[in-house]
Structures are given as structure tokens and as C-alpha cells.
Chains A and B, each alone.
Chain A
Amino acid sequence: MHRIFVLLLSLVLSELVLAQTPEQQGLEIAQEGDRRDSGFVDSRADLTMLLKNRHGDESLRHIRIRTLEVEGDGDKSMSIFDKPFDVKGTAFLSYSHKTGSDDQWLYLPALKRVKRIASRNKSGSFMGSEFAYEDISSQEVEKYTYKYLRDEACGERECFVIERYPVDEYSGYTRQVAWIDKQEYRPAKIIFYDRKNALLKTLVYNNYNQYLGRYWRAEKMFMENHQTGKSTLLTWTNYKFANAFTDRDFDRNSLKRAR
């Protein structure tokens, strides 16, 4: 009796799934990923960026990043630059929003000046790297519309392959194709298409670690620009959660003493 009920239920469920449009399926996958990652409250990490051009010339950046989760809106984040040495002490404060422009301030230590900066420039390069501001800012569900494409093996795992379309008209992309791990709902790979819908970049996530028994963070993120031959490797180390950060750690006063 019990077994028949389960069988019936699974039939009904699979009917439901079948009845879903690919758009609904895609959205649900994104929502589930977001649900699994919410509640981390705050984090801090050290970021090394290794920039390479097509001739193999390398350049290094060292940044410390603090993040505060905001209920019902995008996260607040503070980036503190350590290297190259001429930008040491420069700090970047961002309040991301689910919809509309983010609020961003930049602190220039030589003049002791805090500058509010225009944030519509989502497609611009972050620190001369192959990551655009929109690639590194907080990934809110509302920033895209979605479409489920197919299931596919990704390395040793199984992935959903979904396509997502930026809502913001100032995004540098027409679409992104993302491979999402079916078990953990974390991204494995994203392919970016530029505004002319030509292949632009590929981002590969590697060396995932789990924190607080729940949240997955990739230690390596490798972005390759197919149009320029340049690449950027991000290496995240010293992840720390439960820092008891407050809004005061992400206000304009904190910019001036972010060291």
C-alpha cells in the first residue's frame, strides 16, 4: 500500500516536472542554489589575482574581501587592496541590490578622499582582470531570467545546464550558459557570450571546500577570454565565516580605516 502511494506520488511529481516550462525549471534551479547559499551571514577571504596576457606576461593583485549578507537585498562588500603597492590602502565599498544600480564608493588614501562612483558600468574590467564587475558582484536570482537546457556530465559529476539572460540593459552579455552541480547546486563552469552573442569568456570553478558544514566556496576560479587570449586566475584563501560583522564594518567611515 505504502509502496503504491510512493509510486503514484512520483508519477504525479514527474508529470508536474514535465508540465514545467524550461524557463520555470531554470528559475527553480537558480532559486535552489540561492536557498542553499543563504544564511552564511558574513565572510572574509584573501584573494590573489594572477593576470596573464597572450604573450604569457604575468601580473599579480592581492585583495582582501569582506562580505555581509543583507536580508531581502544584495550583499554588502568591502574590498581592500594590498598589491600592487601603489594602490595599497585603496578600498572599495559596494552595496549590491537585487534590482537597479548598486551603490559604490572608492577610498583614495593619498588624498584621504571618499568618492561615490557611478555603478552602471557593470561590464568594465575589475582591476584590469578578465573579470567584469558584474562577474564578481553578488549573484542575486533577480539579476537574470533563466532557461533549463539539459542534464550533462561535468567531470565526475552530473550537472544541470542552464542558460541565463541578464536583466540589466547595461550588462556586457546577451547570455551565459552555466553548468550547475545537480547534487550541491554550485556552479562548475560558465560560458559568457558578448552583446553580439559571440563567444567571449569561459569561467571554470575548481577545488570546492565546504564551510560551516553547508556553504561551498571554490578556491580556484579560472577565467579565459577567447577573444583576447588573456586569462585571470583567482585563488581564494583564508576563508573565515562568523566574523560578527555589522553594518558599521561596511559604512563610509570604515572605508578610511580599512587596512
Chain B
Amino acid sequence: MRSLVLLAVFIMPVMSLASEGTWSGNVALEWRDFLQSPLAGEQQGDSMSLSFQPEYYRQWNNGQQAFRFTPFVRIDGKDQERSHLDLRELSWTYVSEEWELLAGVSKVYWGVAESLHLVDIINQTDLVENPDGEEKLGQPMIKLTLVRDWGDLDLFILPGFRERTFPGRRGRLRTQVPASNGDADYASSAGREHIDVAARWRKTLGDWDIGLSHFSGTARQPLFREGTNSAGRSVLIPVYDTIDQTGLDVQATKGDWLWKLEAISRSGQGERFSAAVGGFEYTLYGIFDSGADLGLLTEYLYDERGNAATTPFEDDVFIGARLAMNDVASSELLAGVITDLSNGSQAYNLEASRRFGQHWKLNLEARLFSNINAKDLLAAQRNDDYVQLELAYYF
């Protein structure tokens, strides 16, 4: 709701600028087909949903200053918690020769790995959007970037915490007891008003791209305690600790090989622990005498906490392939499987896309869970295999 208010406050000045900037964006119709009946009777089956993400952009002073406004809305036919509105971006940027300043709501991405995004911590995950965790909520921030010979240094002040979104009681791809949206506990007495800070240094040294980051503030990833909501039903209450997390991300680009590593060390959420994900992407070009490229990916996922980890990926291997047809329709396919080495649980993932004409794009997504161990964190989703088709119109 807060984002709704924000929207209303900012939409007026935006509209007055609108004549001088450009609008772009997309509207998409999504259809999800769940292949098995749900574990809990109240959970719904197949669903249709509609999303809309316009973007307004305007720059002036020869690109030295820019304004960007990107609201997002989804209306879901089955899960009312998945119907939501967010302000992905509402930012002003100032660029000079030695520094850049961004103020407002924005998105920031850190990291290099494909199967898990460990280092990336600035934005909260919009989990109802996609269980892969790649969709993010807009984060209020002031970001100062210093551009120097010794690298780029990003300094962040992050006021206003965003809670993770969770599927509702009737939704799929949720925990066994649904997590609550709206009720949350905070370790800090300031609650969601706690002001987080972060810094990241980044530099390219020949074939190497290196990033070193530190975040101090409210954890994006919650722990849970059992509780009841206002309607008296049992729910999982998210608990957001105050943490310190140091992260490293490195990529070495060596010919057809990309070597990748992300590692973090976090304190404040129980005992200090480390976690890492690393591996390679090797690309075969022009396979079968065609223009298509085939990338082979392998990554190992590690979490020092082992079975006590808050992610299902504590001792897992990801193996995948990326096929890019390099054709007029930009046909692409990414398929992979993450296998838990200690209990054998497997999560399969497939993403494919193809463009039609100048405006249309068809996206296919499938996630299958196989041999899921009862103790694995994915256990509650073991019947949530789904195939998803999305038809998007871009403008």
C-alpha cells in the first residue's frame, strides 16, 4: 500500500514531464499449469495472470541528468497475494566526470553466477513473481558512485526496508504453513525504519572482473517463527535480523571459458557463516554448422551451515545448458538441474523465449521437482511442478 501512496505522490510531476521523455515497457499475459494436485486442499491449480510494466525515461543536460519512473502491477486470477503493485524505479541520476549520484527508488544487481545470486543483496526478492528469486522490489536509496583509476566505488544509504513477498494461502510454490505478508519481526528496535548502508568496489583487470562488497543492515532473507495472523490462522512470521555481510564476486573471461565465483560471509543471523557458489560457463560456437551457440554451465553451491541453512542449496551441483540460435527471432533456451548432493533432491528448470515481429515475445518456463527429500527445504513444493507460458507485448 505504501508504494501506492508513493505512486500517487509522484505521478503528477511525472505526467508534467511526460511530453519530453519517452515511454516504453511491456504488458504480458501469463498462464501457469500445475502438473500435480496441491499438497493442501485450499491451494489453487492453474492460473492466469496479467502484468504491466511501463517505463518513463527522460534525460537532459546532454545526458548528465536523467529521470526514470517504472511502476509494476500484476493481477493474478487465483492468488490474491500475487496480485500486487510495486514501484520498481523512481529515480533521478546526476552524472559527472568523476562521480555519479542516484536518489530515489531503484534496482541494483551484483554478481556473476547463474544458479544462485548470493552476493546480490540491495533489493528485496519479489518472491510471488517467480520462485527463482530473480525478480526484485524497488529499493529506496541514495547511491554515490566514485569513478577513479583504482576502480569504481558505490556507496549506499538505504532507508526504508522492503519485506519479501510470499504466496498466499491459496497460492502454490509456498511453504507448508503459509508465510505472512504484512506481519514481520525485526531484530532492530527501529524495525523497518532502520537505515541500512552498503559499499561496493569494482574493477576490471585485464580478463578479470572483481567486486568486493559489504552490507550492514536488515537481512533481505528472513528466518521464520510460527505464529497466528489477525484472523487467528497459523502462519509463518518472517523474522528479519540485523546482519553484516561481506561479499566477493569474481569472473575470469578466458577465451571460450567464463570462470565465476561468488562468496559471502554473514554475521548476525545465528553464528557467522560462509557460503559460496562457483563454476564455469563454456561456450561452443556455431554448433552443427549453424549460427547457434551452445553454452555448458556447471556450478557448485555451498553453505557452511549445512542442513541448518536457510536455503535449499547447501551442498548442491548445478548443471545446465544455454542454447542461443542467433536467429531473427532471437530464439533462446536455458535448461538446467540443481541436485542436492547430500539427499538427492532435484530441481529442474527450463526457460525458453522467441520473438514474433517487432512487438511480441513468447516465453516458456517450466520447473519440476524430483526425488525431493522430506527434509529438504523444497519439500513443501514437491507437488508444485509447473509449466508457464507468457505472451508479452513490448512497446
Which residues does A use to contact B, with CB under 8 Å? 51, 53, 57, 59-60, 83-89, 101, 103, 111-114, 116-121, 123-125, 128, 172, 246, 248, 251-253, 257, 259
A252 touches B152 (CB 8 A): yes
Q: Which listed residue (A51, A59, A101, A111) contacts B255, Cβ 8 A?
A: A101
Q: Which residue of B lies closest to A123 (CB)?
A: B286
Are B109 and A112 touching (Cβ within 8 A)? yes
CA distance A119 to B253 in the complex (A): 9
* Contact (Cβ within 8 A) B66 A121: no
Q: If the complex has contacts A84-B359, A112-B109, A116-B251, are A103 and B204 also in contact, measured as CB distance less than 8 A?
A: yes
Question: Which residues of A are found within 8 Å of B24, using beta-carbon distances?
Answer: 85, 88-89
Q: In the complex, what distance in Å separates the CA atom of A257 from the CA atom of B97?
A: 14
Asked if B108 CB lies within 8 Å of chain A CBs, one says yes
A121-B285, A124-B286 known; A111-B253 Cβ under 8 A: no
Give Cα A60 to B257, complex, Å.
32
20 A-B pairs with C-beta separation under 8 A: A60-B358, A84-B357, A84-B358, A85-B24, A87-B330, A88-B394, A103-B253, A111-B109, A111-B134, A116-B204, A116-B251, A120-B255, A123-B285, A124-B293, A124-B326, A251-B152, A257-B59, A257-B63, A259-B57, A259-B66
Residues of A with C-beta under 8 A to B358: 59-60, 83-85
Contacting A at CB under 8 A, from B179-225, are 202, 204, 209
B226 within 8 A of A: no
Please tell me which one of the listed residues B95, B204, B286 contacts residue A257 in the complex, with CB atoms under 8 A apart.
B95
A116, chain B: closest CB distance, angstroms: 5
Contacts of A257 in B (CB 8 A): 59, 63, 66, 93, 95
Residues of B within 8 A of A57 (CB): 328
Considering the complex of A and B, which 10 residue pairs feature the smallest CB-CB distances, nearest first? A85-B394, A86-B394, A112-B109, A113-B109, A128-B328, A125-B326, A121-B285, A112-B107, A86-B361, A125-B291
Most chain B CB inside 10 Å of its own CB: which residue of A51, A60, A84, A124: A84
Cβ contacts under 8 Å, B330 to chain A: 87, 128
Q: What distance in Å separates the Cβ of A168 from its nearest Cβ neighbour in chain B?
A: 12
User: Is there an interface contact between A248 and B147, defined as CB atoms closer than 8 Å?
Assistant: yes
Contact yes or no, A116 B326, CB < 8 A: no
Known contacts A83-B358, A86-B359; 13 additional CB pairs below 8 A are A60-B358, A84-B355, A86-B361, A111-B109, A112-B108, A112-B109, A121-B293, A128-B326, A128-B328, A128-B329, A172-B286, A248-B97, A257-B93
Q: Which residues of B from 39 to 97 have beta carbons under 8 Å from A?
A: 57, 59, 63, 66, 93, 95, 97
Cβ distance A65 to chain B, nearest Cβ, rounded Å = 16
Tell me, yes or no, whether B274 is within 8 Å of chain A by CB. Answer: no
- Which residues of chain B have C-beta atoms less than 8 A from A118's C-beta? 253, 255-258, 283
Chain B contacts for A83, CB-based, 8 A: 358
B304 at interface by CB-CB < 8 Å: no
For A172, the chain B residues whose CB sits under 8 A away are: 286
Is B267 positioned at the interface, with any CB of A under 8 Å from its CB?
Answer: no
- Whether B291 contacts A116 by the Cβ 8 Å rule is no
Q: With A and B bound together, what is the CA distance between A111 and B134 in angstroms?
A: 8
> When chains A and B are docked, how far (Å) is the Cα of A111 from the Cα of B126?
13
In the complex, which of the residues A101, A253, A259 contacts B147, with contact meaning CB atoms closer than 8 Å?
A253
Q: Known: A83-B358, A85-B359, A85-B394. Contact between A252 and B57, CB under 8 A? A: no
Does A253 lie within 8 Å of B145, measured CB to CB?
yes
B191 smallest CB distance to A (angstroms):
28
CB atoms of A116 and B258 under 8 A apart: yes
* Distance in Å: Cβ of A42 to nearest Cβ of chain B: 14
Knowing A116-B251, A124-B286, the reply to whether A85 touches B108 (Cβ < 8 A) is no
In the bound complex, CA of A239 to CA of B257 (Å): 37
A53 pairs with B258, CB closer than 8 A: no
Bound Cα distance from A57 to B256, whole angstroms:
33
Interface residues of B in 342-365 (CB under 8 A from A): 355, 357-359, 361
Question: Cα distance A119–B26 when bound, in Å?
Answer: 31
Contacts of A246 in B (CB 8 A): 97
Could you tell me the distance between the alpha carbons of A120 and B285 in the complex, rounded to whole angstroms? 9
- A84 B109 Cβ-Cβ under 8 A: no
Q: Contacts A60-B358, A85-B395, A128-B328 hold; do A120 and B256 have CB atoms under 8 A apart?
A: yes
Task: Find chain A residues with CB under 8 A from B59 CB.
Answer: 257, 259
Which B residues lie within 8 Å of A253 (CB)? 100, 145, 147, 152
Please indicate the chain A residues that have their CB under 8 angstroms from the CB of B256 in the complex: 118, 120-121
Say whether B392 faces chain A, with CB atoms less than 8 Å apart: yes
CB under 8 Å from chain A, chain B span 122-136: 134
Q: In angstroms, how far is the closest chain A Cβ from the Cβ of B100?
A: 6
Kindly state the separation between the CA atoms of A87 and B63 in the bound complex, as whole angstroms. Answer: 21
Name, among B66, B145, B328, the residue most crowded by chain A CB atoms within 10 Å (CB to CB): B328
* Cα-based distance from A86 to B28 in the complex (angstroms): 12
Chain A residues whose C-beta falls within 8 Å of the C-beta of B95 in the assembled complex: 257
Closest chain B residue to A251 by CB distance? B147
A226 to B154, CA, bound (A): 50
Chain B CB within 10 A, most for which of A83, A172, A257: A257
The A-contacting residues of B in range 276-293, CB under 8 angstroms, are: 283, 285-286, 291, 293
A7 to B371, CA, bound (A): 91
What is the bound-complex CA distance between A251 and B147, given in angstroms? 10
Chain A residues within 8 Å of B152, by CB: 251-253
How far is it, in angstroms, between the C-alpha of A64 and the C-alpha of B357 when the chains are bound? Answer: 20
Q: A246 to chain B: closest CB distance in Å?
A: 7
Tell me, in angstroms, the Cα distance from A48 to B263 when the chains sit together. Answer: 43
A-chain residues with CB within 8 Å of residue B57 when the two chains form the complex: 259
For A259, what are the chain B residues with a Cβ–Cβ distance below 8 Å? 57, 59, 66
Known: A116-B209, A257-B93. Is A124-B109 also a contact (CB below 8 A)?
Answer: no
Residues of A contacting B257 in the complex (Cβ-Cβ under 8 angstroms): 118
Q: Mark B361-381, 1 if CB is under 8 A from A, else 0.
A: 100000000000000000000
Q: Which of B304-348 contact A (CB under 8 A)?
A: 326-330
